[in-house]
Amino acid sequence: MVTVIVGLGFTGRLTPTPVDRTPPREPPHVRAAKSETLPVVRAAAAWKLGFPLQFPTVIESSSVVDSEVPFRVYKLDDAKTVRFTFRNGSSEYWGIQETDWDDAPALEDKNFSAVIHRRQYDFYYNGPHLHMVVLRAGGASYWVVNTLLDRLSNETMLEIAKGLRPLHK
């Protein structure tokens, strides 16, 4: 057996450690929103999507349901999908996408999975920022998607995802 080591010799100096860019922990910035979101999710359910919808019981504290396009129903690769749109105080948009397309390409590169209160969540990061939290339940997936610039805190994103509840008829 032969071992070959290629590279420069050790100079006695270690490279500096990278700067930690992890955002500081903060409490989630959410507010109760069942009275705002439930009618919108019920309106989307009229489209008979073929999978159970979930409605957010909490949303980011400065957000409202988008007044122009509160939801859109469309197909992604023959899978029915609904997207709920929210506008926050700084006029940025974030959303919740619900679909029965369980192996969508956007879901391939999760950073990790966790079971929280007996529910399965997948976490997708953009650097240190949580860009998407996906709840998998009842044969469908429910994606909480951050703003384009990931302005919602990691804790806020998780709290919104944990606040999703099944819509009962």
Segment 61-82 shows an average pLDDT of 95
Segment 136-145 shows an average pLDDT of 95
Mean pLDDT rounded to a whole number for the chain: 93
H or E segment at 157? helix 154-162
**Helix and strand counts by DSSP (H, E) for the chain:** 2, 12
Domain residue extents for the chain = 32-166
Residue 96: pLDDT band by 50, 70, 90 thresholds?
very high
pTM confidence score: 0.88
Dmax (CA) for the chain in angstroms is 70
pLDDT tens digits along 15-62: 788 888 788 899 999 999 999 999 999 999 999 999 999 999 999 999
Segment 72-97 shows an average pLDDT of 94
User: What stretches of 28-153 show up as alpha helix (H) in DSSP?
Assistant: 34-45
Q: How is 67-103 classified by DSSP, letter by letter?
A: SS-SEEEEEETTEEEEEEEEE-TTS-EEEEEEES-TT
